[in-house]
Structure 1
C-alpha cells in the first residue's frame, strides 16, 4: 500500500464494533507495532483514504494510552472512534446514531460538605468532520442520526433511576449518549496536535435495566453496523487536506512536482531538498515554462 496515501485511524473498543468497520475495508493487511499493538490497514473503496482499524478494549484510560501510541506510529490525518453507547434521551431510539459534537469526561470534580461540584473536561468534534457528518446524514438512508454531545465515564450505566444517572441528567443535560472510551481517545488526539477527530456511537440500549435484554436481542450488532455506516459515509464526504473538500469525481494523485498528501505547499521560487542526497557542489538553473522539454 502506498505510503503517501492519506490515513485515517478508526478505533473501536469491542469486537462487534471492530467487525462492523472491518466489513467496509478492502485488501486489509495486519500491522504489528514493536510493543505488540495490532491494527489492520486497508482501503476504503471509492475514496483516497487508507483506513487503519484497531480494537482497543474497554475504558477511557486504556483508550487514551493506545490512541497516543497508534497516532504516533501511523501519523494519521483523521481519527474516528466508532462503536455503541447507551441512549440518554426519550427521542433517541435503539439503532439511532449519535455523532459527537462534544465529548464530556463526566467524572472530574470536587466533593464538598455541600455536595459534589462537577469539574468536567470537554473536547469538541472536529469542525471539518462534524460538517461532513451533517452532509452525510442528510444523504444516508436507513439511519436516524443526531449531532449532539456524548457523555463519557468509566461506568456502564444500566439504571436510569440511579444517583449517577440523575447526576448525568442534571449536569450534562444536553448529552444524548453515554459510553466509556470517547474522552480518552479525544484527549489523546488533542495532545497529538492537528488531528481531525470525531466520536460516532450507535445506540444499543437505553442505559436502563433493559440493557441485558437489548444486548441479547442483537442490539449491539445493529448499533455497531449503523455507526460504521455513518463513519464510512463521513469519510466518503471528507477529502484529505490539500485535495479539496468535494466528494464528486474520482480521486487523482498528485502530479509530478506537487506535494504529497499532508505536505506543505510552497509559493514562489524555492529549492526543495527533501529526499535528496548530494555528494559535491551543484548548480541550480531556472527553467522557464516555455523552455521545458528543450
Structure 2
C-alpha cells in the first residue's frame, strides 16, 4: 500500500466527477495515493490554510460511502471529514444555487412496516459543532452564497417527483429537512463510529427534487451548485484550525495564542481576547479564597 509522506489533516469526499472537480480546483501540489484495496485519493495543499487535503470520489450511495469513508479514516487518520456535492431542495425557500450545511443528517429508510402502516424509526447524526460554527462564521463573508443551516435527508433514491409517496413520506416524517441526497448519513456514521473525527455534510442545491430536475440539470445547475458547495467547504477550512501542530503537539500544549481571524481562544484557565473585543460579564474561577 502506498502511504502518505505526511499525515493529512482533512478528508473531502464526493460522489460524482463534477463534485470532485469542483473541490480539486482549490487544492494545489496534488499527488495521488493508492490504498492496498485500490481506493485512490489525491492529497495536496490548500493555499493560505494549515491543512493538507485529501480528496476522493467514492461513487453514489450511503452504504458505499460508509464503507469507503471508514477505510479512508483508518488509512489516513484525518482530523475532519467533509462530504461535499449536490442535493435536491425540500423547501420552497431553499433555492437552486443555495448551499445547505447539515446540522444533522437523517437516514430516511429506517422503520417498521405494520398493518397500521410504516412506523418511522428515525436515525439521525449531528454534524460537528466546531465545523458548523466555522461554517456559520465563514458564510458571513461570502455575499454570493445563500446558506441554510438545517437537517439533510439521506436516502437511496433520486427524488424527481415532489408528489410521489416517498416525497410525501419525507415531508411527513422529516419535515425540517432542507435537502435530500444519497451519501451523507454513511459518511457521518463512519466518522461517528471512529470517535475522534469531526464531520460535516455540505450540499449545493442543483434542483427542487421534482419533475423539473432534468431541466435544471441541463441548465448547468449541478456545476453551479458544486462550485458553491466547494467554495463554502474551502472557506470553512480557512476558519477551522487543526487540533495538532506540525510537531504533533496539541494547541493546548502551546500556551495562549491569538487567532489569525481575531477570535478569542480558550486555553485552560483563561480566555485570550487579543485581537478581539469582549462585551459582557466575566466570572472568575474560584481558588477557595473570598
Fold similarity call, TM over 0.5:
yes
Matched, 1:3 2:6: yes
**SS state of the match for residue 62, structure 1?**
helix
Aligned mates of 1:263, 1:141 — CA distance in 2: 32
Alpha-carbon distance in structure 2 between the residues aligned to 1:118 and 1:216: 35
CA spacing shift, 1:111–1:228, aligned 2, 3 Å:
same
Partner of 1:292: none
Aligned partner of residue 12 in structure 2, secondary structure: strand
Is 1:229–2:225 an aligned residue pair?
no
Superposed displacement of residue 141, structure 1 = 2.4
What stretches of structure 2 of length at least 5 have no aligned partner?
Answer: 256-290
C-alpha distance 164-23 of structure 1, shift in aligned 2 (>3 A): same
Contact kept? 1:77, 1:262, Cα under 8 Å: no
2:179 matches 1:180 = no
CA contact (8 A) 2:243 2:251 kept: no
Q: 2:81 matched to which residue of 1?
A: 79
Query: Residue deviations 1:48-87, cap 9 Å, x none?
Result: 1000000000000000000000010000000000000000
**1:273 corresponding residue in structure 2:** none
Distance 1:167 1:174 in 2: 12
1:102/1:48 CA distance change after superposition, 3 Å: same
State how far apart, in whole Å, the 2-side matches of 1:37 and 1:262 are: 30
Q: Distance in 2 between matches of 1:242 and 1:8?
A: 12
CA distance in structure 2 between the aligned counterparts of 1:260 and 1:215, rounded to whole angstroms: 45
Instruction: Trace 1:161-176 onto structure 2 (pairs within 5 A).
Output: 161-176=163-178
Q: Distance in 2 between matches of 1:212 and 1:266?
A: 53
Matches within 5 A, 1:128-277: 128-242=130-244, 253=246, 259-260=247-248, 265=253
Q: Taking structure 1 as reference, are residues 159 and 77 closer, same or farther at Cα in structure 2, changes over 3 Å only? A: same
Structure-2 residue corresponding to 1:105: 107
**Equivalent residue, structure 2, for 1:35:** 37
8 Å CA contact retained: 1:17, 1:83? yes
Q: Structure 1, residues 213-252: CA drift from partner, whole Å, max 9, x if none?
A: 1111111110000000000000000010156xxxxxxxxx
Deviations 1:97-152 (A, max 9, x none): 00000000000000011110001211101000000000001111211000110000
1:240–1:261 contact (8 Å) kept in structure 2: no
**Are residue 61 (structure 1) and residue 63 (structure 2) matched?**
yes
TM value normalised by structure 2: 0.84
RMSD (Å), alpha carbons: 1.7
User: Aligned to 1:40, what secondary structure does the other structure show?
Assistant: strand
Shift of 1:2: 6.1
1:5-35 CA-partner distances (Å, limit 9, x unpaired): x510000000000000000000000000111
Provide the residue aligned with 1:15 in structure 2: 17
Partner Cα distance (2:112, 2:253) in 1:
48
| TM-score computed with the length of structure 1 as normaliser | 0.83
Gaps of 5+ in 1: 244-252, 254-258, 268-294
Instruction: Give, in whole Å, the separation in 1 of the partners of 2:65 and 2:250.
Output: 25
Q: Distance in 2 between matches of 1:196 and 1:49?
A: 14
